[in-house]
Amino acid sequence: MQYNWQKFATGLTLALGANLLFAAPASAQPARDFYKGKTVTLVISSSSGGGYDIMGRTIAKYLGKHIPGNPRVVVNNMPGAGGIVAMNYLYRSAPKDGTFIAAMQNNTPFEPLLGTKEARYDPTKFNWLGSPSVEVGLIAVWKTAPVNSLADLQKREISVGSSGANSTPSFYARLINATLGTKMKIVVGYPGQNEVYFAMERREVDGFPSLFYNTLNATHPNWRTEKNIRLILQYGLEKEPALPDVPSALDVVTNPEDKLLLQAGLAEVTLGRPYVMPPNVPADRVALMRKAFADTFQDPGFVSDSRRMALGVNSPRTGEQIQQLIAETYRAPPKVIDRLRKLSLH
């Protein structure tokens, strides 16, 4: 469903103003009492039916019971520009009283750092709430590809599929090429990941540079058991324990400046699927919502649902951990940021 968000936001602001005429000032109302009888809107920054949407709706199913006052939690989708539309809205227009939260794509906190002009927000000023998972990226090649190891990939060129020059898979391929000396030739023009997978099976391309471990398990678990693919490299700020024989990019890189570049470029992978509140929300409501998310991630019903739907819930991260990671990434040396921007083609 599509929404007129400007009209929606205007109407909501008027409604909130009317309510405030008959209520105690928001800043003076204890957080534990604030949410009683309220509705919390969870904005999902992607279209319906995708991984972020399914995860967000599953979290919304349980989140309300972990918020004091047990507010109703409703979900609305706000897709556009890879999540930037929703981030801009949250930063500038969304209510700052604690009734708006959002499921953000993990690239969006770093778009301003990469010089994306459409990203008109400061991610360090948001109130990050937590993430149910940590992602690990993989360079995967089809079984017929002429490489069997990272050493092979550093000596021999292979083709990898991607949607466009500025897409996430293309960025990761350039990042790994620049820091590890691999020889991935990026072939663009595929509408999405599924089309790249089909191209691998048809041997149009040798591999895919941005296959996430959780996605692999959820969509093509047979690929590993049937040995249809080879996993050449894993990348992220953390290793996947289930893949001890797949080398990690941060373990392999030798140049200190290249390592800093990798750490900055891979920060978004570690964010997983982050949740956030706008800036300037009262601190006690932020603390309450962070705890509610942490409790939801441990809720037996949520854990059961996530396993049944193969949502890849693992190693949840707190809002404080996400806040720190984003702040540290923005403190990267100027030379590192300059290299990042060149690799992102912004």
**342 lies in a domain?**
no
58 plus 181 within the same structural domain? no
- Domain containing residue 225: CATH number: 3.40.190.10
**For the chain, what is the domain count?**
2
Q: With beta carbons less than 8 A apart as the criterion, state whether 13 and 95 touch.
A: yes
| pLDDT confidence of residue 309 | 87
| pLDDT confidence of residue 193 | 83
Mean pLDDT, rounded, for 224-229:
94
Type of residue numbered 27: S
**346 lies in a domain?**
no
**64 lies in a domain?**
yes
187 plus 210 within the same structural domain? yes
Q: With beta carbons less than 8 A apart as the criterion, state whether 209 and 172 touch.
A: yes
Is the pLDDT confidence value at 98 over 70?
Answer: yes
Q: With beta carbons less than 8 A apart as the criterion, state whether 205 and 197 touch.
A: no
124 plus 61 within the same structural domain? yes
**338 lies in a domain?**
no
Q: Tens digit of pLDDT for each residue in 183-216?
A: 999 999 988 888 999 999 999 999 999 998 888 8
DSSP element (H, E) containing 312: none
78 plus 171 within the same structural domain? no
Instruction: Identify the domain boundary among 212, 236, 268.
Output: 268
281 plus 305 within the same structural domain? yes
CB atoms within 10 A of CB 54: 17
Instruction: Identify the domain boundary among 249, 268, 287.
Output: 268
**Backbone phi, then psi, for 16, in 5-degree steps?**
-65, -40
**343 lies in a domain?**
no
108 plus 201 within the same structural domain? no
Three-state DSSP string of 44-58: ECCCCCCHHHHHHHH
123 plus 182 within the same structural domain? no
63 plus 168 within the same structural domain? no
259 plus 187 within the same structural domain? yes
* Residue 311 structural domain: 5-134+272-332
74 plus 49 within the same structural domain? yes
154 plus 238 within the same structural domain? yes
**339 lies in a domain?**
no
What whole-number distance in Å separates Cα of residue 51 and Cα of residue 48? Answer: 9
**304 lies in a domain?**
yes
Instruction: Identify the domain boundary among 250, 268, 286.
Output: 268
| pLDDT confidence of residue 281 | 98
**252 lies in a domain?**
yes
Residue 268: CA count within 13 A, CB half-sphere: 21
Mean pLDDT, rounded, for 105-124:
93
CB atoms within 10 A of CB 115: 15
- Domain containing residue 31: CATH number: 3.40.190.150
Where is average pLDDT lowest: 5-9, 227-231, 273-277, 319-323? 5-9
Residue whose token pair is 């794509």:
105
128 plus 16 within the same structural domain? yes
Where is average pLDDT lowest: 93-97, 132-136, 246-250, 281-285? 132-136
Q: Tens digit of pLDDT for each residue in 148-189?
A: 999 999 999 999 999 888 888 899 999 999 999 999 999 999
Return the ∠ at Cα 245 (arms to 305 and 298), rounded to 5°.
20
What whole-number distance in Å separates Cα of residue 240 and Cα of residue 337? Answer: 27
Q: Report the predicted TM-score, pTM, of the whole model to 2 decimal places.
A: 0.80
Instruction: Give the residue from 213, 205, 216 showing the smallest Cα distance to 160.
Output: 205
Instruction: Give the residue from 278, 263, 319, 287 showing the smallest Cα distance to 132.
Output: 319
